[in-house]
């Protein structure tokens, strides 16, 4: 007698075969679409941009960020033909739910591993000239900037030769609280299709390079919609022990970092730039690693140039306490920064530079706090977020 695992595997295979050979159940698909499309446009005030960039016929891969379970359906109403998409295999455990999803174009995927069955189904769907939605992040990223993509979308583009349309969805993460679907503004933007030469078998490195070409185009659509941009460039003002340690940490995290000194003589001595050379409006993160008594002088020189896309961080030695509150309030009042974050460094600069430190992070903007925590974690430190409305968390060291 087959065990539960074998039964489950047979069931998953059945849904793959149906997607490959029969496709969507057209009666179910068009009835559901006829209900969902006007409902989405009214309830979610759905805004669709760039629909003309999606080919009207022929194979196409729609590579999108993933914020909500609604994303495949939101993207689906941007096309006038059925779309197919991967869904986590756990959604196929209930037979009625699996039948409905499969009828609407979904097929299962095993997350966290290379699922050749899902790849084969995607190829079969594209080979007959249909559209496939791929979420390169691999899972939902509910807040903050976009996550990091997996290389599967690059492999699929290379081995099928199908054009890739970069898509961004914004606002869908605000539509659900528990089982309640709430009204919220949802926007979709589609970029121009990308094409790549077809190869028989794409190596992991080649697939990764193609994915690196696709994902910035998705990020561009995301930022056009007002999404939180990725943290790419940072400037650290203050070339003392703490500032240098912050610069080393952020460089380990993969950011393009400028280290600026307060005086030209100091800058020449260590080969860094000066405060005057920094353009705060062009950086994503501005770290003010200056002694608190000298903070007002630095802010008076550059505070008016800090743009609305920039996060300002104030690192302080020791535990993060009430002594940092006046300085944070001062920075909020004297700059146009998107938000101000405070970083407590109990272990000192040497532990921070070595990547063996535990730090405290406080920020009013929870999405940017998560983004900062990810960057600091990537640099090798443990992060504890404190304060309201930021949730408490502790991230493992890289």
Chain segment 302-332, per-residue pLDDT in tens: 888 888 889 999 998 888 777 778 888 889 8
What value does the mean pLDDT take over residues 364-375? 86
- Same domain for 187 and 290, yes or no, is no
Q: How many Å apart are CA 249 and CA 353, to the nearest integer?
A: 6
pLDDT per position as a tens digit, 9-34? 666 888 999 999 989 999 999 999 99
Q: What is the pLDDT of residue 114?
A: 74
Are 220 and 362 part of one and the same domain?
no
DSSP state of 103: H
Q: Domain with 197 in it: what CATH number? A: 3.40.1130.10
Half-sphere exposure of 74 (CA within 13 A, CB side): 31
Q: Which pair of tokens denotes residue 395?
A: 């991230």
Task: Return phi, psi of residue 165, to 5°.
Answer: -100, 115
Least confident of 164-173, 227-236, 262-271: 262-271
Rounded average pLDDT over 79-90: 91
Confidence of residue 146 (pLDDT cuts 50, 70, 90): confident
Q: Which of 168-172, 357-361, 382-386 has the lowest mean pLDDT?
A: 382-386
Q: What is the mean pLDDT of the chain?
A: 85
Residue 89's φ and ψ, nearest 5 degrees, are: -65, -25
Q: Are residues 200 and 287 in the same domain?
A: no
Last residue of a domain, one of 191, 224, 257: 224
Going by their DSSP bridges, the two strands 382-385 and 393-395 should be labelled as: antiparallel
What's the domain range around 44? 4-224
Entry pTM = 0.78
Instruction: Answer with the one of 177, 193, 224 that is the final residue of a domain.
Output: 224
Are 109 and 205 in the same domain? yes
| The pLDDT value given to residue 101 | 93
Q: Per-residue pLDDT averaged across 222-238, rounded?
A: 88
The better pLDDT of the pair 395, 93 is held by 93
Domain count, the chain: 2
Per mean pLDDT, which range of 96-100, 106-110, 352-356 is the poorest? 352-356
Measured distance CA(175)–CA(268) in Å, rounded: 53
In this prediction, residue 279 carries a pLDDT of 78
Q: Residue 6: pLDDT above 70?
A: no
Query: pLDDT > 90: what percent of the chain?
Result: 44
Q: What is the structure's pLDDT at 139?
A: 82
> Per-residue pLDDT for 2 more than 60?
no
CATH code where residue 318 lies: 3.40.50.720
Average of per-residue pLDDT across 221-246: 88
Does 197 share its domain with 78? yes
Q: Which residues, in sequence order, are bridge partners of residue 312?
A: 286, 340
200 and 269 within one domain? no
174 and 246 fall within a common domain: no
Domain boundary residue, one of 205, 224, 243: 224
Q: State whether 22 and 105 are in the same domain.
A: yes
**Spatial CB neighbours of 30, under 8 Å, sequence gap ≥ 6:** none
Do residues 254 and 338 both lie within one domain?
yes
- How far apart CA 75 and CA 204 sit, in angstroms, is 28
Per-residue pLDDT tens digits for 42-83 = 888 999 999 999 999 999 999 999 998 889 999 999 999 999
Q: How many of the other CB atoms lie within 10 Å of CB of 350?
A: 12
């Amino acid at each position: 007698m087959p065990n539960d695992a074998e039964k489950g595997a047979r069931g998953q295979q059945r849904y793959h075969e149906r997607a490959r050979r029969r496709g969507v159940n057209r009666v179910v698909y068009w009835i559901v679409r006829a209900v969902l499309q006007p409902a989405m446009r009214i309830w979610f005030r759905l805004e669709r941009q760039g629909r003309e960039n999606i080919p009207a016929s022929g194979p196409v891969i729609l590579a999108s960020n993933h914020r909500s379970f609604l994303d495949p359906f939101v993207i689906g109403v941007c096309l006038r033909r059925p779309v197919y998409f991967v869904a986590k295999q756990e959604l196929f455990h209930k037979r009625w739910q699996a039948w409905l999803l499969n009828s609407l174009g979904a097929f299962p995927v095993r997350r966290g591993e290379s699922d050749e069955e899902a790849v084969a189904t995607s190829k079969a769907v594209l080979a007959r000239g249909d559209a496939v939605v791929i979420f390169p992040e691999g899972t939902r990223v509910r807040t903050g900037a976009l996550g990091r993509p997996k290389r599967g979308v690059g492999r699929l583009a290379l081995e099928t030769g199908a054009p890739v349309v970069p898509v961004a969805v914004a606002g869908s993460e605000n539509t659900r609280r528990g089982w309640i679907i709430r009204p919220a503004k949802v926007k979709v933007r589609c970029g121009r299709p990308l094409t790549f030469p077809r190869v028989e078998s794409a190596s992991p490195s080649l697939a990764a390079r193609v994915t690196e070409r696709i994902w910035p185009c998705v990020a561009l659509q995301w930022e056009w919609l007002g999404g939180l941009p990725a943290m790419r460039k940072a400037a650290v003002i203050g070339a003392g022990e703490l500032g240098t340690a912050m610069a080393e940490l952020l460089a380990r995290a993969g950011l393009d970092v400028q280290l600026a000194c307060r005086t030209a003589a100091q800058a020449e001595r260590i080969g860094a730039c000066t405060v005057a050379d920094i353009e705060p409006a062009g950086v994503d993160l501005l770290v003010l690693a200056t002694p608190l008594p000298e903070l007002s002088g630095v802010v008076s020189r550059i505070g008016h140039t800090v743009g609305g896309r920039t996060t300002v961080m104030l690192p302080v030695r020791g535990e993060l306490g009430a002594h940092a509150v006046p300085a944070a309030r001062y920075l909020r009042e004297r700059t146009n920064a998107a938000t101000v974050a405070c970083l407590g460094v109990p272990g000192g600069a040497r532990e921070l530079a070595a990547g063996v430190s535990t730090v405290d992070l406080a920020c009013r903007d929870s999405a940017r706090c998560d983004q900062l925590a990810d960057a600091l974690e990537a640099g090798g430190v443990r992060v504890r977020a404190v304060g309201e409305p930021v949730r408490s968390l502790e991230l493992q060291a890289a």
